Amino acid sequence: MRFFETTNYDDFVFVEGNRDIEESNVNRFKRILEEGGDIWDEVQVNPTKVNGKWPIIDGQHKFIAFMEKELPVPVLVKRKNVPLKGIIEINTVRKQWTTSDRVKSYATLGNENYQRLYAIWKELNEIHPIPIRAVAKLCQGSLANSSNKATESKQAASINGGHWKFIKQESDVRKVFNECVKFTEHHKHAMSETFVHCIQMLMEKQPKFSVKRMLTAANKHPHRFVRASRKQDMLRMLEELYNFGRNQNNRLFFDMNNL
């Protein structure tokens, strides 16, 4: 490894698939420089240039801060080339990556499951904002690769480790999404992971369940449509809302063991 400083900003290039630049991070580093503070970590680059430029593998926000303040960039040349997967691992350890950061990067690496997930999330998110983890649940039925509850917690993290699989049909994902979006007219927080997952389960596994009836109840009794982070709590809330004001013969009790 070797170290140098330079103001030749055009000698650097960002790595495709690295997470997007966040202006707030750049501004944070600029404030440190403006206040006379030090940024202790160097901008790290691969030793092999690409089209004559140093590929930045860590410190792209710091690089922009130095460049915009017209200051020399402190550069550390790595001992060997770090691939995109290595960049993900470095940044996972050193700073928080969002789920969308990881999905985008695995998609760039050529993982078809992540490519499909990232594409459909971008499509749906333009229609109405929705967390990518909520879309992942729609695409798989769960964040886990198995319904085995003993392993669910461990496998639920697989989306961040590159092992997630796209299981559902894209047409079914869009169908559930479009039904859930209808609730946002009166309930802005409706597009949560838990809510869309529960609606999906009810549509697929609960006989005689009607989204139209649920929507009518949610809009008629908005004070009963409340947030819930746990799946079982959400299902109980939806069941009570679904049956509120109905006589015994017109009630539908959810099969909680199969949802």
What 3-state DSSP class applies to 14?
strand
Q: What is the pLDDT of residue 135?
A: 95
- pLDDT digits 0-9 by tens, 241-254: 999 999 989 999 99
Single pTM value for the model: 0.64
pLDDT at 11: 96
2 and 37 Cβ atoms separated by less than 8 Å: no
Those residues with Cβ within 8 angstroms of residue 140's Cβ, 6 or more apart along the chain or in another chain: 164, 165, 166, 167, 168
Listed as ranges, residues in the chain with pLDDT below 70 are 91-96, 142-157
The whole-number pLDDT of residue 150 equals 41
**pLDDT for residue 95:** 56
> Yes or no: is domain 2-94 CATH 3.40.50.150?
no
Question: β-strands 2-6, 73-77: how paired?
Answer: antiparallel
Neighbours of 15 (CB within 10 A): 19
**What is the strand order of the sheet 2-6 is part of?**
2-6, 73-77, 43-45, 54-58, 12-14
Residue spans of the domains in the chain: they are 2-94, 99-258
pLDDT for res 98 = 81
φ/ψ region of 248 (left if φ > 0, alpha if ψ in -120 to 50, else beta) reads alpha
Rg (CA), the chain: 24
In this prediction, residue 144 carries a pLDDT of 46
Nearest to 3 by CA among 54, 57, 77, 55: 77
* Residue 123, pLDDT score: 97
